[in-house]
Amino acid sequence: MLTRIVELPDNVVGFQASGTVTARDYQTVLVPELEATLQRHNKVRLLYCLGSDFDGFSGAAAWEDAKVGLKHLARFERVAVVTNVDWIRNSVKAFGFALPGEVRIFANAGLQDAKAWVSEIDAKGKLEFEFDKKRGVLILQPRGELDAVDFQRVANEIDPYVELMGKLRGVMIVAKHFPGWEDLSALAAHFRFVRDHRRKVKRLAIVSDDKLMSALPFLAKHFLVEEARHFPMKKKTEALTWLGQD
């Protein structure tokens, strides 16, 4: 049978296999959970644990496993397989290269390591940032469609400072244009980030030559920050100086 592994990030699905795994387990447990997660995220991560009480797959279950893999092949970002079963470990080693994402195998004793790896936030996301703690200035540079974890990474960096100091002195967004969001969960994460940090930034500088981006300070002054200005790309240094003023 298959049971869900809970308390994982929203973009991670986890399953514990025990006894004999059947096609019905895939149809009623794994597939609905996977499909629901893919409705919220463009990419998904999978934790699959086959412990000491795992006996094997039925023939139909093996076929269901293959169908799921083929259908969503390009959307698996990371797959962690936890097992001591030699034939499964060897199969993953032999065919794991076919997945575009990363695949790792862990022994049963390494379940916590597998959870940590499959759940970790990528060090380099689509939203590059630099935080100058001395001046209290955050610089954001989007490099592609934004993901939900991008906002979590930034929040993890600045929230301790905001809690201690009350607010950031300034935020500078440098972008040729607004890149959009990877999926609906990223859009929701963006709204939550803005909501949670509303009025916790003194100044906002938009550095861009894009007409749409240049209009953002007008809205920001009314709803988000005390002061907001637009600067063309060639005046990035001037924008940084303005943000650092007392």
2 in Cβ contact with 40 (< 8 Å): no
Mean pLDDT of 226-239: 93
Tens-place pLDDT, residues 2-17: 999 998 988 899 999 9
List the Cα angle 83/28/48 in 5-degree steps: 15
Residue 118 confidence (pLDDT): 94
> Residue 123 pLDDT more than 70?
no
Residue 17 confidence (pLDDT): 94
Q: Among 29-38, 89-98, 134-143, which is the least confidently predicted range?
A: 89-98
With CA atoms as reference, report the closest residue to 80 among 21, 19, 151, 15: 15
Assign 93 a pLDDT band (cuts: 50, 70, 90): confident
84 in Cβ contact with 52 (< 8 Å): yes
What's this model's pTM, rounded to 2 decimal places? 0.58
Residue 23 confidence (pLDDT): 87
Mean pLDDT of 27-35: 90
Mean pLDDT of 216-229: 87
Sorted by where each starts, the structural domains of the chain and their CATH numbers stand as: 2-119 (3.30.750), 127-243 (3.30.750)
Q: Which of 143-147, 224-228, 233-237 has the highest mean pLDDT?
A: 233-237
- Please give the share of the chain, as a percent, with pLDDT higher than 90: 49
Residue 201 confidence (pLDDT): 93
Residue 62 confidence (pLDDT): 67
Residue 164 confidence (pLDDT): 92
Residues 6+ apart with CB under 8 A from 114: 47, 49, 80, 82, 104, 106
User: What is the maximal distance between C-alpha atoms in the chain?
Assistant: 70
